[in-house]
Amino acid sequence: MTSAVGQAREWPADNVQRVPLDRLRVYPKNAKKHPRSQVAALAAMITEVGWTMPVLVDEQGEIIAGHGRVMAAQLLNLVSVPVMVARGWTEAQVKAYRLADNVIPENSSWDESLLKIEVREIEALNFDIGKIGFDMERLTKLFDEGGVNIQADRDEAGTGVRSEHLKFGKNNVVITEDELAGLERMLARYTDQFGLSHGFAQWLLEAAA
């Protein structure tokens, strides 16, 4: 049996065309903000794999969904982008979808155990995880059990000699300044190689084994 949705009129995604950027109009009341970091991440992925999601516009060429992607296209100096048109939509449908396109994805959540597996597998394939657009501080906190946090402090004896309190996840170790300097050099090498430091503690333990 064909569903009611399947019997619907032609969908916007049924017809996608390349349209010059200068023919698209920004919606002046767009409530979704697109910080430069997000636009840069979008541009990085477009450069990496190409364009994967068309911009949705109304019949006058005003953007309904895809403002961030258009900003990324401008950053990349693209001349045209894939576009689909919402034909026959009411004003209410256009306004509602403009918000729904942003709100609905925000209602999902992550399975953090699977996310960590995916991130590790991507890193193992030597792909720059920074291109994906994750907040790197949030991502580092996700891997906190293998994280490194170094805090300088005075020694408890009050001699004025600095000691370093090194935190590996929930474990604390006091090391000398010379030991710290060597550790920081190792951390720098690890970060250059893998792009992130959240796995450094595990890497260090494996290297010492």
Tokens of 132: 């994906």
Section 103-126 average pLDDT: 89
Q: What's at 33, amino acid-wise?
A: K
Section 31-40 average pLDDT: 92
- Ordered structural domains, the chain, with CATH: 14-106 (3.90.1530.10), 134-208 (no CATH)
Within 8 A by CB and 6+ apart from 201, the residues are 146, 147, 148, 168, 169
Checking if the pLDDT of 47 tops 80, the result is yes
| 6 CB neighbour count, 10 Å cutoff | 7
Is this structure's pTM higher than 0.85? no
Within 8 A by CB and 6+ apart from 142, the residues are 112, 115, 116, 119, 198
Express each pLDDT in 67-97 by its tens digit.
999 999 999 999 999 999 999 999 999 999 9
Distance CA 37, CA 140 (A): 17
3-state per-residue secondary structure call for 156-198: CCCCCCEEEEEEECCEEEEECHHHHHHHHHHHHHHHHHHCCCC
Residue whose token pair is 């309190």: 165
Q: How far apart are the first and last CA of the chain?
A: 62
Counted residue by residue, the chain has a size of: 209
| 156 CB neighbour count, 10 Å cutoff | 8
Q: Which one is predicted more confidently, 180 or 194? A: 180
Quote the mean pLDDT of the chain: 80
pLDDT of residue 137: 72
Q: What's at 12, amino acid-wise?
A: P
